[in-house]
Structure 1
Amino acid sequence: MAPIILFLLLALSFTASAQRQTNITLGSSLTPITNSSWLSPSGLYAFGFFRQRNGYSLGVFLSGISLKTVVWAARRDDAPVPGNATLLFTSDGRVVLTSAQGGETLIVSASQPASLASMSDSGNFVLYNSDREIIWQSFDHPTDTLLPTQQLKAGAELFSPVSETELSTGIYRLKMQNDGNLVQYPVNTPDTGSYAYFASGTDGAGDNVTLNLDPDGRLYLLNSTGFNIKNITAGGYPTKEAINMMKLDTDGIFRLYSQNLTRNGNRLDVWSSTSNKCDPKGSCGLNGYCVMKDKEAECTCLPGFEFVSQGNGTSGCERDFDAENESRCPKVSDFGLAKLLKSDQTKTFTGIRGTRGYVAPEWHRNMPVTVKADVYSFGVMLLEITCCRKNVDWLLPEDEAVLEQWVYQCFQDGDMDKLVGDEIVDKKELDRMVKVGLWCTLDEPSLRPSMKKVLLMLEGTVEIPIPPSPTSFFTAI
């Protein structure tokens, strides 16, 4: 009772953006910006819009706390929608998402038209027919979370999210198999033992075995007669001002969490299916392997291999040597190099090869050359595209001859119109491209952003700080 009383108080501040009503009638609607959700009677849960990336998604979430913990996502693999979208409970009993252009997306696939809907205090979003019979409920279609009193039925699965902020389908699944075994696999693999990395060991327990969660955090398996086959967790966790829930996390481990219900409440990990974060198969991608370091999982590659995407350990590994090399030893080579040596002979020559003006400064300074050298080249190209000129042009005045130096001076002076001449451009876009280009062309490699960060900055999804002088680091030393 205490959690409900607490949420009655907390939810008062949310009445401007949510409707608290026992029954949701035909013709009701939601929008992301104003009336964004339908609350359960106590205000404990809400069904409606929540922020995701650069838009909004639909689902059920805990309301009244600073962190909106999403417990069910509708059409989780769809792209987020803009702020002008509308969720409509139509007069003919459908729940649809409409765009400003008039397009419709069916959110719920019920067996018959609905007459009524409700958001319950158990976290279950329910549709009823005219006889008040349940025709659809979110509890029957779990995504990555199991709530108290909810079941994972035989044949059903939970799928991990891509990340904590990206809720689309990730790379792991937890399946309640028809043979009574609760098993974890990577996504897109057969239901066979060779792919499993967790199993309850209850195969042969019969049909219609269900995974159940009690309010005190006891996670257990029941057979079709209601007999308790196995306790997965002992339970006994606090329920006062807290909710216990089970989630299949991004890393492929399913955990029991105790969510504090105070406004700034935290979420505690009270149990996990394994303490070894390398147990989930495939976490490091194709050809990569996982090692535990300081209780954390770390992806690495075998000698002679490198990550497919530098800096991204989950991208997998690819060979860094010629497949035709009989001894499998890496060789330094280049296009058009004649094969003048036998397979067991070696002759190497090391030198710089690259287009003048695009080669990063570390090539000339006897410094380690990393992937940040490519970031430098990209930055030069970005500034050239922005300013419609070459990187170095000695026909121009001396203070304009070197592009990066001239761009930084114009940026520092607040005179960026000079970079585009008489062209009419979006000032915010120009500012963003110039700042990204200047960050990429810094002399110090460690200060340059990764290409992933560059992409996010160009998209406008992360804030771009003011870039320092391109040569400030080397001037200081």
Structure 2
Amino acid sequence: MAALPKCVLLQLLLLALSFHALDAQTQAPNISLGSTLLAGKNSYWLSPSGDFAFGFYNLTGDLFLAGVWFHKIPQKTLVWSANRDQPVRIGSTIELTLGGILVIRDPQGTDDFWIYNGTSADSASMQDDGNFVLRNSGSTVVWQSFSSPTDTILPGQTLKKDQKLISNFNGTTNYSTGRFELLMQYDGNLLLNDEYADPAYWYSATQTPNSSLVFNKSSMLLYVFNNTGIALLLTDDAILPRPLGDYYHRATIDDGGNFAQYTFWKGNGSGVGAGQWSMVWGAIEDPCTTNAICGEYGYCVLDENKKASCHCLQGYSQIDPNNPFKGCYPDFVPQSCQEYASGANFEIVRMNDADFPNNGFADLARINNSDADSCEKAVSEDCFCMAAVLEFGMCRKKRMPLLNGRQGIPSSSGRLAFIKVPLSNRTISSDVHGKKEHHYRALGAGLITTSILAFLFAALTIYYYHVSQKLRSMKISPNVMVNGSAVTQGLVH
């Protein structure tokens, strides 16, 4: 092969250097104004070590979130997102404008999403601790992702008063806002609760104002800290793997409502714990005890991996088969006390080692000195009662809707649940088409009724309008002629 001319070699060398500089720019400490990322082009800005990336995180197909993730591990675990409830499509951009604004733009340029809308940012950087920051010309941080967490905190990050973490809707398939939250309450109490607004199902009992949840960067310990020091140590130093620097660390509230700390070994190989996140501490030991984890009319059992598995009560079906945590709906028409008086249209189903605790709310009724037969009879004879739990001689009638269902776990051991289930002659089709048809018939009937009422109202309005007009004309002329004589009109006073 003939040797290339020196001028061509020089041009190739300069071109290679330019490509190297372009690649290195993604890992530069400072990202300059005017920089842009494009969705669908594997476009992101790396931290100096390459441990974290900020950019477009691909969900499924052509949907993307603007966020921060662990970049060196196969899972590319997302730890923060700016637009978790508003994914964008291929062709969207993230732009740090010349005016210092950080914005997500859609391909049409008609629906911008402002991440930072200030005017003082002069540069940006993806830091090695997982914090994406904007700084002014004096290098002071004016905005940071650590100040607006989603479902995760990282070492060096603090959850301050009234800040919260909110779970994803469905694991790693739907990152939108979920049901559960970890709240650093204003009074210093760290709480886990859910959208059903029940009392917190876990709390730290650290009621000192101005407390914070701290994820210590050097020790990797989680603790509640107040003005005087550590109020509560959540994780124990003894449970953390060594050396600490050989592992990635995060603490996340998951879609099952548990807040837990995880580690990921940075090394290669296939040893124990390699290639996956391992939980080293969790606030909830039994995931089935999380408030309403299986939604309305669902109940929770532990699967072979000791994880929550949701099922529907007999006579109920899943609202969303792809997400059992959303709960269940009845396959039957609501109960009529008159129709159920004879007891011939339903049966009582028993569930061993099952419970439906109300978590602080009163039961419908409590009957002492009960046994299985008397408790079942109490449910059968009460048309307003759909379920009860026999608990050590006390029959607890439950309020609707049924929540917090669980079976086969330590807290439900020895309890017996009774569920009233209508028989098939009262059952309606669970087919979606049937539900829509039933809905449309009801809607059509409602529209017809509304139209008739509207017509009658209009007719009455016209009638009374003409009557009032006639009366008004009579009031204007107080004297009328009767047989040629003027008399006073009785309607005028």
Q: What's the C-alpha RMSD, in Å, of the aligned pairs?
A: 3.3
Q: In the alignment, residue 234 of structure 1 is paired with which amino acid? A: D
8 Å contact from structure 2 (residues 331, 429) kept in 1: no
Instruction: Say if 1:373 and 1:199 are closer, same or farther in 2 by CA, change over 3 A.
Output: closer
Q: Alignment partner of 2:261: what SS? A: strand
- Deviating more after overlay: 121-130 vs 180-189: 180-189
Structure 2: which 5+ runs fail to align? 1-18, 270-274, 348-380, 382-427, 435-493
Match in the other structure for 1:406: none
8 Å contact from structure 1 (residues 125, 138) kept in 2: yes
- Pick aligned residue for 1:94 from 98, 101, 107: 101
Match in the other structure for 2:53: 46
Alignment identity in percent?
A: 34
Please state how far the C-alpha of 1:263 moved relative to its aligned partner.
Answer: 6.4
- Deviating more after overlay: 303-312 vs 58-67: 303-312
8 Å contact from structure 2 (residues 102, 114) kept in 1: yes
Q: In the alignment, residue 286 of structure 2 is paired with which amino acid? A: N
Aligned residues: 322
Instruction: Say if 1:178 and 1:210 are closer, same or farther in 2 by CA, change over 3 A.
Output: same
Match in the other structure for 1:63: 71
Match in the other structure for 1:269: 279
Instruction: Say if 1:50 and 1:16 are closer, same or farther in 2 by CA, change over 3 A.
Output: farther
Please state how far the C-alpha of 1:76 moved relative to its aligned partner.
Answer: 0.9
For 1:94 and 1:63, the matched residues in 2 are separated by: 25
Bigger radius of gyration among the two: 2
8 Å contact from structure 2 (residues 101, 119) kept in 1: no
Q: TM-score if structure 2 supplies the norm length?
A: 0.59
8 Å contact from structure 1 (residues 94, 106) kept in 2: no
Match in the other structure for 1:314: 325
Q: TM-score if structure 1 supplies the norm length?
A: 0.61
Cα shift readout 1:53-76 (whole Å, capped 9, x = no counterpart): 222211011112222111111121
Q: In the alignment, residue 178 of structure 2 is paired with which amino acid? A: G
Match in the other structure for 1:291: 301
- Pick aligned residue for 1:259 from 258, 264, 283: 264
Match in the other structure for 1:82: 89
8 Å contact from structure 2 (residues 252, 261) kept in 1: yes
Cα shift readout 1:124-173 (whole Å, capped 9, x = no counterpart): 00011222211110011111111001001110000011222221111100
Match in the other structure for 1:183: 191
Q: Alignment partner of 2:325: what SS? A: helix
Cα shift readout 1:392-418 (whole Å, capped 9, x = no counterpart): xxxxxxxxxxxxxxxxxxxxxxxxxxx
Please state how far the C-alpha of 1:35 moved relative to its aligned partner.
Answer: 5.7
Instruction: Say if 1:376 and 1:287 are closer, same or farther in 2 by CA, change over 3 A.
Output: closer
For 2:38 and 2:103, the matched residues in 1 are separated by: 12
Is it true that 1:242 corresponds to 2:247 in the alignment?
Answer: yes
More strand by share: 2
Q: In the alignment, residue 285 of structure 1 is paired with which amino acid? A: G
Q: In the alignment, residue 56 of structure 2 is paired with which amino acid? A: F
Is it true that 1:196 corresponds to 2:206 in the alignment?
Answer: no
Match in the other structure for 2:213: 210
Q: Alignment partner of 1:286: what SS? A: coil
Please state how far the C-alpha of 1:18 moved relative to its aligned partner.
Answer: 7.6
- Pick aligned residue for 2:223 from 220, 227, 231: 220
Match in the other structure for 1:326: 340
For 2:159 and 2:41, the matched residues in 1 are separated by: 35
- Deviating more after overlay: 15-24 vs 179-188: 15-24
Task: Map 1:112-191 to 2 at 5 A.
Answer: 112-162=119-169, 163-187=171-195, 189=197
8 Å contact from structure 1 (residues 40, 119) kept in 2: yes
Q: In the alignment, residue 198 of structure 1 is paired with which amino acid? A: W
Please state how far the C-alpha of 1:240 moved relative to its aligned partner.
Answer: 3.0
Q: Alignment partner of 2:289: what SS? A: coil
Instruction: Say if 1:128 and 1:188 are closer, same or farther in 2 by CA, change over 3 A.
Output: farther
Instruction: Say if 1:210 and 1:310 are closer, same or farther in 2 by CA, change over 3 A.
Output: closer
Q: In the alignment, residue 47 of structure 2 is paired with which amino acid? A: S
For 2:156 and 2:219, the matched residues in 1 are separated by: 11
Q: Alignment partner of 1:240: what SS? A: helix
8 Å contact from structure 1 (residues 144, 159) kept in 2: yes
For 2:321 and 2:147, the matched residues in 1 are separated by: 41
For 2:157 and 2:310, the matched residues in 1 are separated by: 35
For 2:192 and 2:268, the matched residues in 1 are separated by: 34
Match in the other structure for 1:396: none
